[in-house]
A and B are shown apart, each in its own frame.
Chain A
Amino acid sequence: MKLSLNWIKDYVKIPDDMDLSRLAYDLTMSTVEVEGAVDLGKKYENVVIGIINEVLPHPNADRLRVCKVDIGTDEAVDIVCGGSNLEVGMRVVVACPGAVVFWHGEGEPVTIKAGKLRGVMSYGMICASSELSLEELFPAKGDHDIMDLSHLDVKAGTPLAKAIGIDDIILEIDNKSMTNRPDLWGHYGIAREIAALYDLPLVEFEKYEPSVSERVDVRILDEEKCPRYIGAKIEGLGIIPSPFEMQSRIWRVGMRPINALVDVTNYVMLALGQPTHVFDSDHIKNHIEIRRASEGEKLVLLNEKELTLTNDDLVIADSEGAVALAGVMGGAKDSVLPTTNSVILEVANFDSKTVRKTALRYDNRTEASSRYEKAIDPERCDLAVSMAMKLFSELFPNMKVTAYEDKYPNKLVKKEIDVELEWLDRRLGKRIPQEVVARKLGTMGYEVTFNESSMHIVVPTWRSTGDVSIKADIMEEVARMYGYENFEATSITAVFDGAVNQLDMDLVRRIKEYLAFRCNMQEIFTYPWMQDNFVNAILPTTEGVLALSTPPAPNEKYIRSTLLPNICRAIVKNEHSFEEFAIFEEAQVFFDCDYTTDYDPIERLPKQRKHLGCAFVGKSDKISDLFRRAKGVIGMMPRYTHMEGFTFKREEKPYWADEVVWTNIYLGEKKIGDMALLSRKAALACGIKVLSPVLVELDMDELIPFKSRTNQFVHIPEHPLNNYDISFLVDSMVKWDEIYSILAEKITDNSLLRDVQFVDEYKGKQIPEGKKSITIRLVIGSSEKTLTGQEIEEVANTAMKKLTKKLGADVRK
């Protein structure tokens, strides 16, 4: 919202020496965010009034003239100009060097410099109104007309802003910072805040008392949606332009002046925040009724939008049908017309929610609707009527109010609040003198009565529509007007009753740091909604998957029950930029099942779990390595992050997994996740074309953190451990698990065989079909003594015999 400082000064006497940046800062700190201030005087710097002394032909151009212009300097200056309406004696607007204009009213702003135009020296530029963005105030009559200010009695050289009375400062307020303050949507409301901030007097308005007994026939059929409606029939009007100052003010704050009748209604709204409207009274048939629209009722708005209304819309109607959309916009047929000379002035109050919904429904938000939707108080109608009447009578000396009605069925009750003084001091952290509290609240319209230990407060009507209702609101009013920055910093006190100890939170962090920093994986975030093709690739069915009512895209309706679809999408995004990468995501997943009231007895929420998803992505000839890397990362995770360990076994192949390369992940007897190569079919459905991903998904809510680190100290062996490598051939289907368990079965604290480790697996040319070569490492040693070569050989031989016996291994020494 734009505010004119000159206009505000109508209502509160701001001292002339008030520093503007101070005012903007104080308003920002205490009331609304001032986003910027435009000084129109500065904007039109170096633009002055000139009087044309002579108009001469241009020697080199038919359509240009050379004017001798008096701009208040000792000598008249030469200016080349193409204006078609140039005349000697005309008062024109001259942009002198340094002025900023829009060339022919278009494009980027240009700074004027003195220079030659077609060979003739030109001091500056004689401007058209569009070149100064003033076309709305000074519409040009012809295409090439320059701005004619001959009607003004001002000296040559007078700055333009001063000459036309726009030497003003425009404050830009962030609308979002006052959505809760319906009283601030006009100059008067901001003036009241300034008055309270600086303890200045605020101008009061006289109440208008109608002097006619004739009544406008107003019928409110929905009193809840229309708490008040004032209709006044006014005759003796006509379509004339409004006075320049009114036009100029309306223009300065960003609206367009139209004619005196419309301008008065807009002026009142901009001044008080109360929208008003005028109907051509000749077109209103019989009576005015405020009712809900009937389903399918038609209305053409002033902006020529044709609407088909619903029963939720509120309309103003006469006996023949709707004439306006209440609180939003008038109808085209019955509002001000070129022939209008008598009107019905509407000053009314409508339900905020109704107005907002209607404006949204037809995508037709207006200055009026955006004010009504903040919940204006119905008492403000009185101020608006009195201001409108005063302005009409000033503009139209013959105007006469011939009928009047004020229907106010739904009277606003002022809020009353008691505030204990001790509470206020305690919460503010300091005592603010009573007279300061009384003065600040008083200027803002509160009635304050002090009792022994508390104060009784009656809230003004304009703050009683939901804004102020409890004592915390009063505390805020006092604190912000006293100045938030005038409170001293207080230190934070703490009661110490033990260190924060959150094992589950710590575990999540350890896991993420383990994956990122030990395992070289990059954390990613994806959206909770999934694209259909990824869903279909990963899930056998969408049963049990929740969906959004209004999804971000039609094919992104399902929200994740698994992290894998979006991880696959991330793989598609990256597979062309990297040959190999590993990513992980930790996020919540959702299931349309197992609804529970565990979160809170009042609501039943679906099953929600925290999952971890990982992808190890590389070329297809590295699949075995990728899988082993994944297994290493997941298998070592419990050890490094201090939680109960996992086991890997095959029970149930995931739908999306490759036939061969997969395993399930178990915690004790419970399956908590899967690890597998993405099947070729699923990869194609996802659009993964270049690389092969091994995917992992884990239910993190199943993980059990240890209470502290679980490292155990073991004595460093006193006697050497010996590594003894053996290679042997076995059937290629023999699994490492079998080999290991055969050898490891005899390992005890006292056995000479201390460990069995996998070294290498080889299938290739030298190996017969259906066989593979395995190399293992036996770790052999004694806690008693250093073993001899012979003793070591014996242990190794026993192991080799076992392998030969149980697996038919062919040992290759």
Chain B
Amino acid sequence: MQTALSIALDAFAYGMALFIICIGLSLTMGLMRLVNLAHGAFAMIGGYIASYAARDLGLGYGYGFGIALAVAGTVLIAVPLERLLFRRIYDRSALSQVLMTIGITFCVIGITNYVFGPTLKTIPLPADLARPIDLGFRSIAGHRLFVIASGLAVAGGLWFLIERTGFGIKLRAAVENAPMSRALGVRTELIYAASFALAVALAAFGGAVGAEFLPIEPYYALRYMVTFLVVVSVGGAGSIPGALAACLLLGAIDVTGRYLMPDFGNFFFYLAVILVVCAFPRGLMGRAP
């Protein structure tokens, strides 16, 4: 029982870290119909900025400052990219989108490798988060609880933003029927730019807080690309509860499989993916197009 609880907790933390990184991709793919393979690259940029700000800059503000700077800095990098590159491919076929975004990914990998070098980068944690916390039946790193809390906050915040605010209504309208929304006075370009920035900000946040699970190095963007895409397709692109369910389900299966039968590798993970995709071709909570 204690073991089961312990594994459930690990799975929950891992699933939440995946969720924070992947939800932005789910939004761009589901709401903006943009297959953005460069999403992992933005998460990686966030991780690098956080690491640089918290460790090398020596300002002494630490972790929170690093994360804030990571989110702001990555968005600052992404906005010109959106204007120059991404805006041209919103209406193009999925193949053009894949080609362009994977090209961007390779460029980002090359540049980070050149600028920061090929070594691993860490983001130093504040003492409170680095300490193992005793929960009675086991000890867990404080950082993992922080990731869980962040994941829940992101899920709640996003749900509220999209379902309950004016911006959310305009975004959903622009996605359903862009010409009609424009006719009604919604500035769709602005809406797209804002939601792209939001997705990138979430990627950067995820890259920074998830760095303990997925360490920051130049090949981050490629190494975890498949995992991110799998989570989005299992959850159903564009659905927040779907992405949350997919992350928790896949996280649980992955962690449990690794505990019970490490020799089987990723067998259980991909078996689950195949079963879910067979049963729900649009993902757990994907909507009909």
Tell me, yes or no, whether A binds B: no
